[in-house]
Structure 1
Amino acid sequence: MSELRDLLRMRWARLQRQISYSDGPALTFLVALALALIIAGRLAEDVVPQTSVVFAMVLASLWLGPRTLPWFVIFCLVGVVYLAAYTPDISTVTVVRVLITFAIGLLIIVTSFRRMRLGVAGPRGESMFVDLRDRIARQGAIPTLPAEWHVESASRAAGGTSFGGDFIVASRSTDGSTLELIVVDVSGKGIEAGTRSLLLSGAFGGLASAVAADSFLGDANTYLLRQEWTEGFATAIHLHLSLATGDFELRKAGHPPAVWLHAGSGRWSVLDSDGPVLGLIPGATFETVRGTLMPDDALVMFTDGLVETVDRDIASGIDKLAGRAQMLLPSGYERGARRLIDDLSSSNDDGALVLVHRRPPYAAARR
């Protein structure tokens, strides 16, 4: 009985996919709708105007694929010509209506030809991009960590779009002992950098879990060089953190340095290291900075969109970010990444930030 139920469920899912990705059902409905509008326009022209066929064409532009859509639009325009031919008195208003209908149909056909390269209708193409955007977000999702550790990430794209050139990759080792955090800034900003960040987020996510920490940036640099992009460079900062001891290794490639907030002294320090931008120099090497996060210490990694503006240099921006981060210590670092990026990010540039906090024993015990 269970096998039959599983078989029926699979057949139903397959039928749903066929309906979703096939023009057949939508085309049948639209042809019936267009015929109904044409017949109504012929029999009751005072009630149903000739331009009502535009409604069917607009629906078709949303539902039909680029190969079927032009033929349906031509079918509708033939119907408009048929209605105009049987109009008793062709006035200037009637001619203008027909011309406007043809202009809209031509615009829909041209749009369908532009979509032909993708091969899917408008909403389906949009859903693909939404899925890709969500995959980038999942790459930066922080895995489940021991109660001792609190890690947050936040990002914002230029212009308020969903795609940007800054992204975050987070990966925990199979045995759960270490955490890899990478903040990447792809050349460009907003939508123009979105396509490259889509590709790099998947590639860097795979590298983070497949190669040793000390070779990640080198392998990422080799990967970018192989792409041979005109604007194929990116900056990155990579944190390799031991969840048991708090020991970390930090490497960066042409990226702004991380800020280390010391709970014991109440001060902060900049963790800077040498390393060229990814995708420019073959065989590049990257300096390693090592340290140990003590209880209540915090580490902040970010992109230049948060600390550098046209009227502020990067050093002043880092000072401002570190000061805002220190103000989080009395109230706690919960939602600290989002608060920092809301305070510091600019609408003209992408921004991404990761906040790592090692909770003191008494706070971790309450978790």
Structure 2
Amino acid sequence: MSAARDRSSRSASQWLEAVLDRVLPHGSRILVALVVATVAIGLAIFFFPRDAPLVTLLVPLVVSSLVLGPRQLPWFVVFVLFVLAVVVPFQGRLNVRVVLTVIIIFGLGFLVLMSSFRRSRLGVAGIQGEQMFVDLRDRILRQGGIPALPDEWYAAAELRSAGGTPFAGDFVVTSRTGNRLDVAVVDVSGKGQGAGTRALLLSGAIGGLLSALPPSEFLTGANTFLLQQDWDEGFATAIHLSLDLDTGQYVIRSAGHPPAALRHAGSGRWEVLECEGPVLGLIEGASFSATYGEMRRGDAMLLYTDGMVETRTRDIGSGIDKMLGQAERLLRGHFEGGAERLIDSLGSRSDDRALLLVHRR
């Protein structure tokens, strides 16, 4: 019987919610609640001017800036300021405190109006807009997530943005098809938030191309895509690794990117895998040469962006030597977590950094 009552109560609540959604959508319900709250605050200020301060009207004003959409927000701000104008004459004798309070509330209302006009380009409320950007950032990070690999393989990717912002122009995308792992490390022109918007678009396209095209056509397709965007700063560097997880054979192609580095387990030495190719988005019909090799058991490979090896006082060549020296010290015999240790110890904090570590156990 209790289960039947629970089901009937849930059905009743769902029916009531459906009726409310038809009569008064969720966004309108929030607006009505804010209007009622503002009227209640206005009446309290009107009848109890000594106990209810004018600054109480800032509460619905601030809340509205967070939850109302760009169409509703300007009208609600005007309504709050109208309520303020109505109740001010009943404050008794005007003094400096009351005048300053009115000026502050009108000033904040003006700022909220300006933000609502800017927000109208996006078409969503403040919190919703932030959630959209957070979701986009999380999607970039998920694209850089390493898929499940056989036990004999270990791979990890790490990203750091300039100034510690959550958006960066460097990113990593991965794809696994059967026994083939494809990884692309990309560095979009610019850094930090300036490059973050272009990286949002480019990471989705790169991820799709990586899984849809054969390895030999990937950089060509990415170059064509960038040329079609016609951006003012529409270039990017990239390095692409296609790895056979059964045999360890790999193919590396580069588009103006710093070279990969391979550690040979037999000799314990790092080898720089030189591979040349034009930067993406500059030359139509560009071709990209390939470097072939094989990762044997115990070998490790590093793919990285120039933020790891280049600073204002050090060129890329010297930076690569320093990185490999640090890698020899930090990764010796213990590769798990090595990408994080290495990226935290190297590179410029004023530039975006990305690092991928692949190890064959």
TM range (shorter): over 0.9
| Residue aligning to 2:217 | 215
Q: Hey, what does 2:299 align to over in structure 1? A: 297
Measured at CA, do residues 266 and 280 of structure 1 come closer, stay the same or move farther in structure 2, by a change above 3 Å?
same
Instruction: Determine whether 1:312 maps to 2:314.
Output: yes
Deviation at 1:91, TM superposition (A): 2.6
Give the superposition deviation at 1:85. Answer: 2.0
Give the one of 103, 110, 121 matched to 2:107.
103
Count of equivalent residues:
352
* Structure 1, gaps ≥5 residues long: 360-367
1:113-262 to 2 correspondence within 5 Å? 113-173=117-177, 176-262=178-264
Aligned partner of residue 284 in structure 1, secondary structure: coil
Against the structure 1 CA distance between its residues 120 and 12, is the aligned structure 2 distance closer, same or farther, given a 3 Å change threshold? Answer: farther
Alpha-carbon deviation of 1:56? 1.2
Of the candidates 94, 100, 112, which is equivalent to residue 98 of structure 2? Answer: 94
Q: 1:42 to 1:16 in 2, by over 3 A?
A: closer
Cα separation, 1, equivalents of 2:20 and 2:356 = 40
User: What's the offset of the Cα at 1:8?
Assistant: 10
* CA offset digits 1:250-302 (Å, max 9, x no partner): 00000000011011001111001110000000011111000000100000000
Query: TM-score with structure 1 length normalisation?
Result: 0.91
Kindly state the Cα deviation for residue 96 of structure 1 after the two structures are TM-superposed. Answer: 2.4
What is the one-letter code of the residue matched to 2:278? P
Q: Give the alignment of 1:8-27 within 5 angstroms.
A: 22-27=26-31
Unaligned 5+ segments in structure 2 are: 1-7
Shift of the 34–163 alpha-carbon distance from structure 1 to 2, 3 Å rule, reads: same
- Could you say which residue in structure 1 is the equivalent of 2:280? 278
Closer/same/farther in 2, CA of residues 164 and 14 from structure 1, 3 Å limit: farther
Q: Which residue of 2 aligns with 1:265?
A: 267
Q: Does 1:358 align with 2:360?
A: yes
Secondary structure of 1:348 counterpart = coil
**Is the CA contact (8 Å cut-off) linking 2:310 and 2:319 kept in structure 1?**
yes
The DSSP-based 3-state class of the residue aligned with 1:356 is strand
Distance 1:293 1:228, change over 3 A: same
The letter of the residue matching 1:348 is: S
Deviation readout 1:43-75 (Å, 9 max, x if unpaired): 111111122111110111111111111111111
Rounded Cα–Cα distance in structure 2 between residues aligned with 1:205 and 1:114: 31
69, 78, 82: which is aligned to 2:82? 78
| Alignment root-mean-square deviation, CA | 2.4
Q: Report the Cα distance in structure 2 between the residues aligned to 1:357 and 1:50, rounded to whole angstroms.
A: 65
Q: Structure 2: which amino acid aligns with 1:83?
A: V
Matching residue's letter, 1:130:
V
1:75/1:165 CA distance change after superposition, 3 Å: same
Deviations 1:146-170 (A, max 9, x none): 0010001000111100100000010
Aligned partner of residue 84 in structure 1, secondary structure: helix
Give the percent of matched residue pairs that are identical in Structure 1 and Structure 2: 51
Q: Which secondary structure does the structure 1 equivalent of 2:91 belong to?
A: coil
Give, as a single letter, the amino acid of the residue that structure 2 aligns with 1:214.
S
CA distance in 2, matches of 1:92, 1:298: 71
The residue number in structure 1 matching 2:65 is 61
- 1:50 paired residue number: 54
**C-alpha distance in structure 2 between counterparts of 1:255 and 1:24, whole Å:** 52
